[in-house]
Amino acid sequence: MAGKDPARLLHFYEDMLRIRFFEEKVRDVLLPQRLFRGSSDLYIGQEAVAVGALHALRDDDPVISTHRGHGHALARNLDPYALFCEIMGRTPGTCHGKGGSMHIADAGRHFVGENPVVGSSAPMAAGLALACALERNDRVVACFFGEGALNTGAFNEAANLASLWRLPVLFLCENNLYAISVPLEKASAITELENRACCYGIKGQRVNGMRVMDVYEAVSQAAGPMREAAAPAYLVFDTYRFEGHHTADKQTYRPDDEALRQFRERDPIHILEREMIEDHTVDLDTSIAYRDRIRAEIDDALARALEAPWPEPEEALVGVYAKGEVE
Amino acid sequence: MASGKMRNITFAQAVRTALREEMKRDERVIVFGEDVGQYGGVYGCTTGLQREFGEERVRDTPISEMGIAGIAVGAALAGYRPVAEIMYVDFLTHASDGIVNNAAKWHYMSGGQFSVPVVFRSPGGGGAGYAAQHSQNLEAWFAHIPGLKVVVPGVPRDARGLLKAAIRDDDPVVFIEHKAHYGFKGEMPADEELIPFGVAEVKREGTDVTIVSWSRTLTFALEAAEQLAGEGISAEVVDPRTLQPLDITTICESVAKTRHLVVAHEAVTFGGFGGEIVAQVTEHAWESLDRPPLRIGAPFVPLPYSEPMETFVIPQVSDLVARVRAYLG
């Protein structure tokens, strides 16, 4: 199995740790010190989905993400320093401070951006895929969204159009069980979410989103045929967010011990570590060395970001239109 | 315009001419929307385009305005120049997530990394008996959104020249046509013509009063000016042609000459774009005005169906004549 390639597993491990440590800095440093505005939606717990999926895709496959998109951005190799800067509103941020935590984008890495209007990204993904189809390139558009987006009209319009027009949209549904506070079973008439696109002729597949190898295999198998003959595919990943919806979430809607229990049983990084140690891909010392190295990298990125310059207030007036300034 | 030859065409033909010329010029221009393919659009603006350019570039969509708008934005982000037809301005409410939240914002929000060269064409306005849900005038909504450009042509020549400019523009454009005006005829240069945004045109010169108007009401204002001339009132009619960007300079120059300002549009007066023009003129050219400006628009009601009521609500030529006369009296 390709997923068992030790070098690949270590690469997964490294990228998942990077996301985890990055988000822990947001939670443990940026939040208490009030270094960002609004809210920040943490990806902790879902790392296997972003990493497995984006490793299975090519670097030139466009990605469109959600409000919970730091993980997708980092898995697409965006610079943690540029992400920290953007979240803190500093000039070297990916969007020079105009976007913030919910609007990370990087055109050069085909990371079209986070779209925090739930469901809104699905028709955009279909449009990006229409461009692929018209150009007859063999790219696949990765459209990440949470299970809450399945209930929007936008998703349903996009799924129908993508299937009707044979557009290479890879719908990647991260089922983390909650839409802010509302649990899946109170929001969706059916909980077998893999069936939510079959009425449009798009086969759905349910995948363990906590096991990065499973994600990688499923996305690889889905994307391959899409490159040969453009058509959409739809995968649902069972996952869980160990943190609140956003950093200000009081989490009154789930039992006190639920997140902790989920973390003990389902942490995707622990699952990967355990399997790698059992397979002798790594020993404990190697895994500690990886953790130390990535942690130091994130520490360094944050330290530099904290020193990064602020934009001049008047820069707010620049860049509303592609040419020219606000009048 | 080298030859100076003119053709007499309808508003719908002018729209179609612009689409055809731009599709021939640039293969990245694609057209889609409900019934725009074989059927040629419910108002005939895309007649023959699918036959000429094929089903890949001219596509019928399902009834999915949110999907249409989102696909247009996505394709534009990937370098295409989509022209999406939204069958009625009223349905822009469905499409507005793509237009307002995504198209208008993506360039700014990404720090300038992306641009969104998309055109949303949509017929607005009443006068055709379609009642409250197929007749609205929502140009002020979209002109209020930073990142959007709003185009409101009143005559065929402007429709063609402005639509061509809209398609070549790197920013999202909401291009509002008037459904009761597609058969309106006017002169259009035989040769290609592009009309830049943010340049108002004085459609009729006059000395006593400036009437600013656009879309179908512009042609009513021109008729009203003709009738007023018979009464010895010389009205200047200024067509801004685009509301965002807005050429307030030309409007202020006209008011400096006539010392009187009337803004006439079909939209509801309250919160309508006339208020913005009046505010800007009073801010920039207060000393030019001999009396407070006058806004002419619809009363604050949804558009009724029955003809006597609909005609009563929509400002007609006779209303413009009477109200301008009274304003100057």
pLDDT in tens, A74-113: 999 999 999 999 999 999 999 999 999 999 999 999 999 9
Residue ending a domain, among B154, B189, B224, is B189
For chain B, give the percent of residues with pLDDT over 90: 98
Does B65 qualify as catalytic in the annotation?
yes
Note whether B97 contacts A105, CB cutoff 8 Å.
no
Residue ending a domain, among B160, B189, B218, is B189
Identify which of B72, B111, B170 has the shortest CB distance to residue A99: B111
Q: Say whether pLDDT at A69 is over 70.
A: yes
Chain B closest CA to A234's CA: distance in Å? 18
We report the CATH number of the domain holding residue B184 as 3.40.50.970
Q: Are residues B224 and B105 in the same domain?
A: no
Report how far residue A318's alpha carbon sits from residue A326's, in angstroms, rounded to the nearest whole number.
7
Q: Are residues B146 and B220 in the same domain?
A: no
Residue B241 domain-assigned?
yes
Q: Say whether pLDDT at A161 is over 60.
A: yes
Q: Are residues B43 and B169 in the same domain?
A: yes
List CB contacts of B86: < 8 A, sequence separation 6 or more: B33, B65, B68, B69, B92, B95, B120, B121, B122
What is the CB-side half-sphere exposure of residue B86 using CA atoms within 13 A?
Answer: 31
Residue B196 domain-assigned?
no
Contact residues, chain B, for A142 at CB < 8 Å: none
> What mean pLDDT is predicted for residues B18-23?
98
* Largest pairwise CA distance in chain B: 59
Domain that holds residue B130: 8-189
Note whether B70 contacts A105, CB cutoff 8 Å.
no
Note whether A326 contacts B77, CB cutoff 8 Å.
no
Question: Which tokens in the block code for residue A182?
Answer: 């509302």
Identify which of A107, A117, A134 has the shortest CB distance to residue B97: A117
Q: Say whether pLDDT at B1 is over 50.
A: no
What is the CB-side half-sphere exposure of residue A297 using CA atoms within 13 A?
Answer: 17
Domains of chain A (ranges, CATH numbers) = 2-308 (3.40.50.970)
**Omega before B245 within 30 of 0, i.e. cis:** yes
Residue ending a domain, among B156, B189, B222, is B189
Contact residues, chain B, for A132 at CB < 8 Å: 78
Identify which of B59, B69, B82 has the shortest CB distance to residue A123: B69
Domain total in chain B: 2
Does B94 qualify as catalytic in the annotation?
no
The DSSP output letter for A304 is H
Torsion sign (Cα): A195, A197, A203, A209: negative
Q: Are residues B289 and B223 in the same domain?
A: yes
Identify which of B67, B76, B107 has the shortest CB distance to residue A123: B67
Please state, in angstroms and as integers, the Cα–Cα distance from residue B222 to each residue in A144, B176, B248, B273, following that order. 53, 20, 20, 19
Please state, in angstroms and as integers, the Cα–Cα distance from residue A279 to each residue in A6, A153, A265, A276, A282, following that order. 9, 45, 20, 5, 8
User: What ipTM was reported for this prediction?
Assistant: 0.95
Q: Say whether pLDDT at A327 is over 50.
A: no
We report the CATH number of the domain holding residue B211 as 3.40.50.920
Tens digits of residue pLDDT in B210-229: 999 999 999 999 999 999 99
Q: Say whether pLDDT at A2 is over 70.
A: no
Q: Say whether pLDDT at B2 is over 60.
A: no
Q: Taking chain B, what is the end-to-end CA distance rounded to the nearest angstrom?
A: 42
Place A300 in a pLDDT band, splitting at 50, 70 and 90: very high
Q: Which residue, among B30, B66, B100, B107, would best test binding to A if mutated, counting the most A CBs under 10 Å from its CB?
A: B66
Q: Say whether pLDDT at A59 is over 60.
A: yes
Q: Enter the pTM of the model.
A: 0.96
Q: Which of B324, B26, B15, B33 is nearest to B168 (CA)?
A: B26
Tens digits of residue pLDDT in A288-299: 999 999 999 999
Rg (CA), chain B: 19
Q: Are residues B30 and B156 in the same domain?
A: yes
The per-residue pLDDT for A262 is 87
Nearest chain B residue (CA) to A156: B67
> What mean pLDDT is predicted for residues A112-130?
97
Contact residues, chain A, for B78 at CB < 8 Å: 62, 127-128, 130-132
Q: Say whether pLDDT at B18 is over 80.
A: yes
Place A326 in a pLDDT band, splitting at 50, 70 and 90: very low
The per-residue pLDDT for A325 is 46
Residue B194 domain-assigned?
no
Note whether A321 contacts B107, CB cutoff 8 Å.
yes
